[in-house]
Structure 1
């Protein structure tokens, strides 16, 4: 039930964020692909600075929001943060800054811009399911609105299908928006 409520709220907010930072009047430039040990990012430093919209080095910025990933880890079944789950989870801690006057919660902002994939299916895109909240500190604050220019911490977890395939975060300018980049996270323990 909570997942359906969160998804419904995410859909409402994401429609507001869907076009954020988009400017269709600019000519599309081919993106240079850059690889590091932790990520594959399609946005170069020069491009990110020129339009102010990017996903690079654990930071996403679009017109309405900035999200900084501060920590990631795999939490096995039964351990703190995944006590009741039946699958291990990939947990992500992050800070969300509201750059607009729009109503925004950290979880809804996250789900409006990120898709989380574990590419272990040769025939289809394997988007991971959201798991239970991995950090009790955010239990009472997860639905609070972030004030303009305010920054709040939050966490989210995704149920893993295996413990070998990396997890890929795909960042977009809101639902259906332009892809800003991808970052891979190794999940081996």
Structure 2
């Protein structure tokens, strides 16, 4: 119940960020050029991407710092019935509006395990794998601030790699994808 409540709250809150980083006039290329503003002569970095464990949008940056499989009963998955793929990451807020690490994650990433020949297998969110973030996962990040967080996804098997797909906000253009091998 608590897991569903947290996920629902994060999803509802993420709707406010749905357009973050999306630029409908530039749908064909994920990398944008840097621009200089005339009034301040300050360079604004508009490059967006997902590569080398890092997703960058105009409004935020997420750096994946660690991944691992946690079996049921082990620390970080004490109450789960299935093994989970745990992800630790850092979120940096690049704009004046507050962003929390959970909303940022859900706005940017889809997580699949491609083990179904007929349908896309999106993984279910598991319980928080690191209790250090229990009280901070929904705190707003100040502009240019960076905070750590973690998330876990319930695995359907222990063979098929997990694929993270980064998008420019909910329903936005795909920035890229990365496969993560299941290491035991």
TM-score band by shorter chain is 0.7 to 0.9
| CA deviation map 1:146-182 (0-9, x unaligned) | 1111100000000000000000000001110000000
CA RMSD of aligned residues (A): 1.7
Q: How many Å separate the matches in 1 of 2:15 and 2:149?
A: 21
Whether the 8 Å contact between 1:10 and 1:109 is mirrored in structure 2 is: no
Query: Which is higher, the Rg of structure 1 or of structure 2?
Result: 2
The aligned residue for residue 80 of structure 2 is 85
Unaligned runs of 5+ in 1: 30-42
Whether the 8 Å contact between 1:10 and 1:112 is mirrored in structure 2 is: no
Q: How many Å separate the matches in 2 of 1:149 and 1:188?
A: 33
The aligned residue for residue 108 of structure 2 is 113
- Closer, same or farther: CA 180–78 of 1 in aligned 2, 3 Å: same
The aligned residue for residue 90 of structure 2 is 95
Q: How many Å separate the matches in 2 of 1:92 and 1:24?
A: 30
Q: How many Å separate the matches in 2 of 1:16 and 1:114?
A: 16
The aligned residue for residue 7 of structure 1 is 7
SS at match of 1:137: helix
Aligned-pair CA distance for 1:27? 6.5
SS at match of 2:11: helix
Q: How many Å separate the matches in 1 of 2:180 and 2:160?
A: 9
Q: How many Å separate the matches in 1 of 2:89 and 2:82?
A: 22
The aligned residue for residue 120 of structure 2 is 125
Whether the 8 Å contact between 2:87 and 2:152 is mirrored in structure 1 is: yes
Unaligned runs of 5+ in 2: 35-45
TM-score normalised to structure 2 length: 0.87
TM-score normalised to structure 1 length: 0.85
SS at match of 2:77: coil
The equivalences for 1:133-148 within 5 A come to 133-148=128-143
Whether the 8 Å contact between 2:27 and 2:173 is mirrored in structure 1 is: no
- Closer, same or farther: CA 180–27 of 1 in aligned 2, 3 Å: closer
The aligned residue for residue 52 of structure 1 is 47
